[in-house]
Structure 1
Amino acid sequence: MQSLQPTSQRESVFNNEVISRFELYNSLFLTLPFYKVKDTGTLLPLFIKSCEDGVKNHETPAKLIEDFFGKYTPNTNTQDIIDLLFRFIQYIERQVVLFDAVEDASFNKLNIADEQSSLRALFLKANDDKILHEKVDQLIEDFSLRLVLTAHPTQFYPGSVLAIINDLTAAIKINDITTINQLLQQLGKTPFFNKKAPTPVDEALSLSWYLENVFYFAAANIQSGLNNLLSEYHIDPKKIIELGFWPGGDRDGNPNVHAETTLQVSKMLRQILFRCYYRDFRNIKRRITFRGVEDAMGLLQDVLYKNAFDSNLEPQDISSFIIENLNKIHDTLIKEHDGLFVDLVSNLTRKVELYRSHFASLDIRQDSRILRDVHTYCRQQKPINSLFPANYNELSEVEKIKALSFRNAKIKYADEQDSLTQDTLQTIAQIKEMQQSNGEMACHRFIISNCQQASDILQLIELFLWNGWEADELTIDFVPLFETVNDLSGAAEIMETLYTHPFYKKHLASRGGKQDIMLGFSDSTKDGGYLMANWSIFKAKVELTETAEKHNIKLAFFDGRGGPPSRGGGKTHRFYASMGKEIANKNIQLTIQGQTISSQYGSIDSAAFNIEQLINAGISSGVKEKHNVLLDKANYDTLEVMASDSYDSFLALRKHPLFLSYLETLSPLSLLSKITISSRPVKRNSGEALKLEDLRAISFVTSWSQLKQNIPGFYGIGTALKNQEKAGNWAQVEKTYQQSGYFKTIIDNCMMSMSKSDFSITEYLANDKKFGEFWKMLHQEFELSKSMLLKLAGHHSLMENYPVEKRSIAVREKIIMPLVLVQHYALEKLQHELTDEKRQAYEKLAIRTVYGIVNAGRNLA
């Protein structure tokens, strides 16, 4: 596995390369002559200092902001104050971007591979150890990494801003002051968001920027290096990296995604890919001007150009044709031209082998409750209605499964369908069209969210058989998504039912005996709190692995939001490296979304580094196949009690009468629906009153992070640890922490989440008549969690073992602290009677602060 430079060296690099350069360019930035920003650069440092002093003195945001304007701009009216605060926000948003660019420019200097712990070292060792060599060979054969890009309302930079960031990073790398100055001016004048909310297609187009400009190169580079390494050690090269894509396919809770949307995005991904291919081919054509390759070059020129630019072309999967002709050119260059420029041809061939005609697999996702309704609708139609009893919905699960016939049928729809039913049926039919156009991998997974029973999957299969699919040609993988703590506890039993079901068993065999299972971390955290979510997922994985092994099923876990490590924005590769042999780990699949995309995969360098770390972690873990010590009785019992105590604590918080009121009043939760950064509603059942169960996990987490309290990332863990100490079981907890890499990773990421919290900003609430006691309860659990975690880790401060990351977070939090205070100021004003004009102004002010706060968190969402 790749590791970082020694801490002291990294700290020195960070101080010199990041902090110093940021301060230099920031001083340049504050003097730029932006439109309507006269004197803003001068006043902003004074405003920041006033904010810091006001927080230290526990002043309310209203008092410290009004005192500032009274002191430095005494003659301003309310509208002038709002206008100047908007300009401060604009500057701070761009300061965050500047810090990102400076940090990204130093990425390679901060992250240097340690050859002793790399894959190369592992293969070198395997060369001298026959048993290890066989194990590595088998692991490579079975291993895969799938990164799935998802659209969430915490990744909102338009393509124009992403391009500026990319160019700014490149300029900072070489200290090109002239270009940096120009780009900072461009950044200051470029809008950071759209006036209208994006459509799902807009989101897909925005996210495809990363596919085209980052992953297209980074994934191919890693695959190339891996192929060379495998060839060196006489292991056959194998495609390991796969890309997935959710925008346009994920319709769970998003009424704006339709069948036509999915088809449109599929076509868009294909066209963008072929434009990438054509761009590379033009470079080849510029260099390969020799005889003997004219025919193949001419064919490729014609087919690549048409597929890249002709919108009237009838699309087909032509990847094999492209590879065949590239291989002809390759062979001719070797035989007749001394291999001149053969590397350019090999490079494009690798990319076509990776991305074929689809670029990234488009996943379809829908809620089980919707799919049940569609199944009910279809059962009422001819000729299906004769196959089912009238009381089918009242039957037990066993009786329902027994009633399913899995017959092919062509339904004659007699009555009008609602929009969700229509979308589901059209999408099922269109998946076949997408597979014919872009290849089977273009769209081959249907994810059933909120999956609660085996019939949820089996009924969906019937929908396919009733809408144009044959049983022996069902090129679809059905993926259950288990989300809540309760669903996770019953997951293994559901899969046992499926693995033993004759039809499903036969279907799995036709799909290579492989089953993907998705585990949703965000919803389980909202449901049960941080520790219970982690522990529930761990136990579910162990049970699901055991069930799969019993039936000889190749199991791949698909972790939502990067899985349990990501709540604190933590080290995902450490989480995968810590797996024991009791958890299937040969196929790593995870969603990357929000600011995780830009922070960890925003440049070719950082994407390649993080992809390689995940591959190293997965293969190294598979070779070790260590027993997971959390399954030893003493450790297991300890975690079981701690998770239960943590859950009880979190549940008591959720049931507190002020819980939702606190979030709605003091965070921008109620305003998130007005933010034009997402096509997805903030909550399900959007026309009804707010209920916690309807609130989307991403909105729930975002609201707490805006408050700088990050409750989902720690609440209850302090109580759980304290209870163990009181019970005289502390020595056992310490032993569990020292022995289990998995538990240690959970603790590390909890501390990272807490590092992004700052209760001092809201300490003025301690005296609030309505929320004072509630705030104190939250703060008390934070302080308890902090003290207990530090005691367990043997540290003096949070993230003590990650000093560079800790410093980076501290700088970011300092940059955006004024935004948090402006947000509180605006939200407090909204609690009073206001004219419509003033209300709109304060709402807009609060909304604008959200962007910069989210961006500074980078990997929180």
Structure 2
Amino acid sequence: MQALQPTSQRETIFNNEVISRFELYNSLFLTLPFYKVKDTGTLLPLFIKSCEDGVKNHETPHKLIEEFFAKYTPNTNPQDIIDLLFRFIQYIERQVVLFDAVEDASFNKLNVADEQTSLRALFLKANDDKKLHRKVDHLIEEFSLRLVLTAHPTQFYPGSVLAIINDLTTAIRSNDISTINQLLQQLGKTPFFNKKSPTPVDEALSLAWYLENVFYFAAANIQAGLNQLLSEYHIDPKKVIELGFWPGGDRDGNPNVHPETTLQVSRMLRQILFRCYYRDFRNLKRRITFRGVEDHIATLHDVLYKNAFDSNIELKDISPFIIENLNKIKETLVNDHGGLFSDLVDDLLRKVELYRSHFASLDIRQDSRILRKVHAYCREQKPINSLFSKDYDQLPEAEKLKALTFKTAKIIYSGQQDNLIEDTLQTIAQLQQMQAENGEEACHRFIISNCQQASDILQLMELFLWNGWEADNLTIDFVPLFETVNDLAGADRIMEALYTHPFYLQHLKRRGGKQDIMLGFSDSTKDGGYLMANWSIFKAKVALTKISEEHNIKLAFFDGRGGPPARGGGKTHRFYASMGKEIANKNIQLTIQGQTISSQYGSVDSAAFNIEQLINAGISSGVKEKHNVLLDKANYTILDNMAKDSYDAFLALRQHPLFLPYLETLSPLSLLSKITISSRPVKRNAGEALKLDDLRAISFVTSWSQLKQNIPGFYGVGTALKNQEDAGNWEQVKNTYQESGYFKTIVDNCMMSMSKSDFAITAYLAKDKKFGEFWKVLHNEFELSKKMLLKLSGHHALMENYPVEKRSIAIREKIILPLVLIQHFALEKLQHDLNDEKRQAYEKLAIRTVYGIVNAGRNLA
């Protein structure tokens, strides 16, 4: 993994390039008269100062806000106060965007890589070391990076706003004051959000903006650099980067995704891609005006234009045809024209080889409980009903596996199908059409959420055989998703059952002997807390790697890493660089979503940097193949004991009678379903009473982050560390921390999560009659965790070793402090009897604060 320039140098650049420029442009921004309320921008700094003073004095948000308006806008009626608070929110939302743009404009200066630790340095060393050269050569042959963009309710900006942000970043980079002024005015007048919830297709279109404007260029640029590097060291270039896509294919818990949705998104990705190809081709055509290439140029122009703009053409994978013609053009340029402009051909060739006709592979995902219902429905139909006993569902797992026949059949459906059964059956049949239109890579993975037994996968395979697929041509990879603590503990037993099953083993052989397994952080954190979730996933990876190696299966882990540390996010590069040889790491696959997309992959520069960091981390880790010290008995025992203690503490908190009432009353949890930024419901089993098990992890983590308490990102860690200290094991804990990069990454991510917490904001709750004691429980664990983590790391403050990132977080938290207090003010008002008009006004006020808080956090939800 590449290191950055010295910390002190980064701090100086951050102060000069980010803080100073933000203060300059923010002062300009606050003078712009966007809205009906006079002097909003003038009042906002005063309001921010009142908020800061009020938090220091532990005042309630209600008292703080009421006193502010009494002092600065006396005789203002309640409705005008609400209106002015809305204007404050709108300004602050755009201040966050401005700070994002200023930071992004300085990205290249802040993230200059150290060439001594780069991938090139590794190849240079390998050139002099034959043994290392062979290892690198072999690893490159197998290595791949797959980035999967997922639909996420906190990535809410429409394309128009994203375009403004992009242009604003460019203008700031060149200090173009006139353009900056115009763009800030445009930003102030452009709506950030839709009035109604997006459809899954809308979400896909919004996320495709990043594919078209960022990844299309960034991934190709990285691949070009890697190809150049490999050729210099006489290693054959290979495709390393793959893109995946979930919007339109992920139907787990989202009743708004239908077969026609999936097909529409697949075709949309194809059309956007060909428009990118056509855009590049026009530049190529403008330069290559020589004799000998006219026919190929004309042919490609016609083909690319029709695929980009003609909705009536027959869809099929034409990437081989495009590659063939581009190679012929290149051959003529090299042979007859001295290779002039052949670099333009190479660039387009590289993109076509990367993205083919599909751009990004669309994954299908559904919950195992739904798939079991579909299998049960099909077993009632002719001729399948004769193959199964009526008590099949009650059979032990071993008996179920024996009962599965894997016979190809054409089912004669009768009776009414419910929507989810119909969706599954139509989607299975439709996948063949999608592969025919865009190529096999367009959609070749089916992910089974909540996978609890081998039959969950094998029964799904039968559904394919009963709905138009042949066993010999089943071009689908079946991917189990293990997420809860219990499911992770039993994952290796499930996979061994599959690896020893004749039909499944035969299928794997046809698929190149490779198995993808998805491990999700979200529900494991909600289920067991931060430390137990990380430790459970680590142990599952070790066990799954071992069992896969024993059966000669090439294993690829697909990490469901969300934005925040509480959902697997955080310092991703260090996470992958810290893997030992006991964990399969030749194929890095991870989800990127929410504010992680805009913060780490929002521009071509930042995306290219982070893609390169991941590749460097994976290859460097693979070359070293060090033993993971966490598997040594002393280290393993200490982590195991801490995880159990942390789990017990988190479980006790979850079982506290005030746990959900606290979250429902003091956070916007109960209002999230009214936010028009997602097609997916806040919880499963919509319409029923709220249960923690039904609550989606995104909603769970988002609610705690809105409270500025981030409980899922640290709770139980302090207790676990203190217990070890009390037991006389502190020296061993310190040794484990010093020796294990993995454990250090867990600690760093935990401290990042805590840095985005601020219990001072809710300190007034300590005196609350209902929630006071519960708040103290949360606060005490926060203070204990902070104390123990600082003692363990030897630091004096959280994120002390990341001063630039720490300063960035501090500025963002300062910007959005008024939003947090306005939210608490509105939620407090909603606890009283209100008429419908006032209730709707305060609900809307609370809801609008959510966007800016999430966006400022960058990886909070």
Instruction: Tell me, yes or no, if the aligned pair for 1:564 and 1:746 is still in contact at 8 Å.
Output: no
Residue in 2 aligned with 1:378?
378
Q: CA deviation at 1:629?
A: 0.3
Residue in 2 aligned with 1:479?
479
Instruction: Tell me, yes or no, if the aligned pair for 2:485 and 2:536 is still in contact at 8 Å.
Output: yes
Measured in 1, the distance between the counterparts of 2:604 and 2:457 equals: 38
Deviations 1:682-703 (A, max 9, x none): 0000110000000000000000
Residue in 2 aligned with 1:622?
622
Instruction: Tell me, yes or no, if the aligned pair for 1:567 and 1:749 is still in contact at 8 Å.
Output: no
Deviations 1:485-504 (A, max 9, x none): 00000000000000000000
Measured in 2, the distance between the counterparts of 1:727 and 1:361 equals: 51
Residue in 1 aligned with 2:807?
807
Residue in 1 aligned with 2:93?
93
Residue in 2 aligned with 1:303?
303
Residue in 1 aligned with 2:561?
561
Measured in 2, the distance between the counterparts of 1:501 and 1:228 equals: 43
1:20 partnered with 2:15: no
Measured in 1, the distance between the counterparts of 2:137 and 2:422 equals: 47
Residue in 2 aligned with 1:539?
539
Residue in 1 aligned with 2:72?
72
Measured in 1, the distance between the counterparts of 2:488 and 2:432 equals: 32
Residue in 1 aligned with 2:213?
213
Amino acid in the other structure paired with 2:142 = D
Measured in 1, the distance between the counterparts of 2:661 and 2:804 equals: 37
Instruction: Tell me, yes or no, if the aligned pair for 1:569 and 1:752 is still in contact at 8 Å.
Output: no
Residue in 2 aligned with 1:126?
126
Measured in 1, the distance between the counterparts of 2:543 and 2:36 equals: 61
Q: TM-score, normalised by structure 1?
A: 1.00
Measured in 1, the distance between the counterparts of 2:563 and 2:214 equals: 23
Residue in 1 aligned with 2:107?
107
Instruction: Tell me, yes or no, if the aligned pair for 1:566 and 1:572 is still in contact at 8 Å.
Output: no
Residue in 1 aligned with 2:511?
511
Residue in 1 aligned with 2:724?
724
1:662 partnered with 2:662: yes
Residue in 1 aligned with 2:34?
34
Amino acid in the other structure paired with 1:483 = E
Residue in 2 aligned with 1:819?
819
Residue in 2 aligned with 1:430?
430
Measured in 2, the distance between the counterparts of 1:203 and 1:230 equals: 38
Residue in 2 aligned with 1:283?
283
| CA RMSD across the alignment | 0.8
Measured in 1, the distance between the counterparts of 2:462 and 2:825 equals: 55
Measured in 1, the distance between the counterparts of 2:69 and 2:487 equals: 53
Residue in 2 aligned with 1:11?
11
Measured in 1, the distance between the counterparts of 2:47 and 2:740 equals: 46
Deviations 1:706-732 (A, max 9, x none): 000000000000000000000000000
1:641-680 matched pairs, under 5 angstroms: 641-680=641-680
Moved over 6 A (4+): none
1:449 partnered with 2:449: yes
Residue range with higher mean Cα deviation, 81-90 or 127-136: 127-136
Q: CA deviation at 1:562?
A: 5.3
1:332-411 matched pairs, under 5 angstroms: 332-411=332-411
Instruction: Tell me, yes or no, if the aligned pair for 1:214 and 1:603 is still in contact at 8 Å.
Output: yes
Residue in 2 aligned with 1:702?
702
Residue range with higher mean Cα deviation, 450-459 or 125-134: 125-134
Measured in 1, the distance between the counterparts of 2:285 and 2:74 equals: 67
Measured in 2, the distance between the counterparts of 1:794 and 1:54 equals: 33
Deviations 1:183-205 (A, max 9, x none): 00000000000000000000000
Residue in 2 aligned with 1:142?
142
Instruction: Tell me, yes or no, if the aligned pair for 1:358 and 1:442 is still in contact at 8 Å.
Output: yes
Deviations 1:10-60 (A, max 9, x none): 000000000000000000000012131420010000000000000011000
Instruction: Tell me, yes or no, if the aligned pair for 1:569 and 1:753 is still in contact at 8 Å.
Output: no
Residue in 1 aligned with 2:223?
223
Instruction: Tell me, yes or no, if the aligned pair for 1:26 and 1:98 is still in contact at 8 Å.
Output: yes
Instruction: Tell me, yes or no, if the aligned pair for 1:151 and 1:593 is still in contact at 8 Å.
Output: yes
Rate the CA distance shift 1:371–1:569 in 2: closer, same or farther, 3 A: closer
1:248-267 matched pairs, under 5 angstroms: 248-267=248-267
Instruction: Tell me, yes or no, if the aligned pair for 1:521 and 1:563 is still in contact at 8 Å.
Output: no
Residue range with higher mean Cα deviation, 807-816 or 32-41: 32-41
Amino acid in the other structure paired with 2:119 = L
Measured in 2, the distance between the counterparts of 1:689 and 1:576 equals: 40
Instruction: Tell me, yes or no, if the aligned pair for 2:561 and 2:569 is still in contact at 8 Å.
Output: no
Amino acid in the other structure paired with 1:193 = F
Amino acid in the other structure paired with 1:201 = V
Structure 2 gap ranges (5+)? none
Measured in 1, the distance between the counterparts of 2:221 and 2:14 equals: 26
Amino acid in the other structure paired with 2:580 = G
Q: CA deviation at 1:564?
A: 9.2
Specify the SS of the correspondent of 1:588: strand
Measured in 1, the distance between the counterparts of 2:607 and 2:22 equals: 23
Measured in 2, the distance between the counterparts of 1:848 and 1:243 equals: 33
User: % of aligned pairs identical?
Assistant: 86
Measured in 2, the distance between the counterparts of 1:568 and 1:306 equals: 42
Measured in 1, the distance between the counterparts of 2:239 and 2:205 equals: 26
Measured in 2, the distance between the counterparts of 1:75 and 1:347 equals: 65
Measured in 2, the distance between the counterparts of 1:168 and 1:337 equals: 41
Residue in 1 aligned with 2:637?
637
Residue range with higher mean Cα deviation, 827-836 or 555-564: 555-564
1:858 partnered with 2:858: yes
Instruction: Tell me, yes or no, if the aligned pair for 1:519 and 1:563 is still in contact at 8 Å.
Output: no
Specify the SS of the correspondent of 1:193: coil
Residue in 2 aligned with 1:43?
43
Amino acid in the other structure paired with 1:166 = N
Residue range with higher mean Cα deviation, 425-434 or 558-567: 558-567
Instruction: Tell me, yes or no, if the aligned pair for 1:567 and 1:860 is still in contact at 8 Å.
Output: no
Q: CA deviation at 1:565?
A: 5.4
Instruction: Tell me, yes or no, if the aligned pair for 2:595 and 2:859 is still in contact at 8 Å.
Output: yes
Measured in 2, the distance between the counterparts of 1:197 and 1:426 equals: 25
Q: TM-score, normalised by structure 2?
A: 1.00
Specify the SS of the correspondent of 1:196: coil
Specify the SS of the correspondent of 1:692: coil
Q: CA deviation at 1:448?
A: 0.0
Residue in 2 aligned with 1:527?
527
Residue in 1 aligned with 2:183?
183
Measured in 1, the distance between the counterparts of 2:160 and 2:820 equals: 26
Residue in 2 aligned with 1:460?
460
Q: CA deviation at 1:336?
A: 1.1
Measured in 1, the distance between the counterparts of 2:17 and 2:687 equals: 50
Amino acid in the other structure paired with 2:243 = L
Rate the CA distance shift 1:123–1:557 in 2: closer, same or farther, 3 A: same
Specify the SS of the correspondent of 2:591: strand
Q: CA deviation at 1:743?
A: 0.3
Rate the CA distance shift 1:563–1:455 in 2: closer, same or farther, 3 A: farther
Instruction: Tell me, yes or no, if the aligned pair for 2:29 and 2:184 is still in contact at 8 Å.
Output: yes
Measured in 2, the distance between the counterparts of 1:708 and 1:170 equals: 32
Specify the SS of the correspondent of 2:687: coil
Rate the CA distance shift 1:37–1:237 in 2: closer, same or farther, 3 A: farther
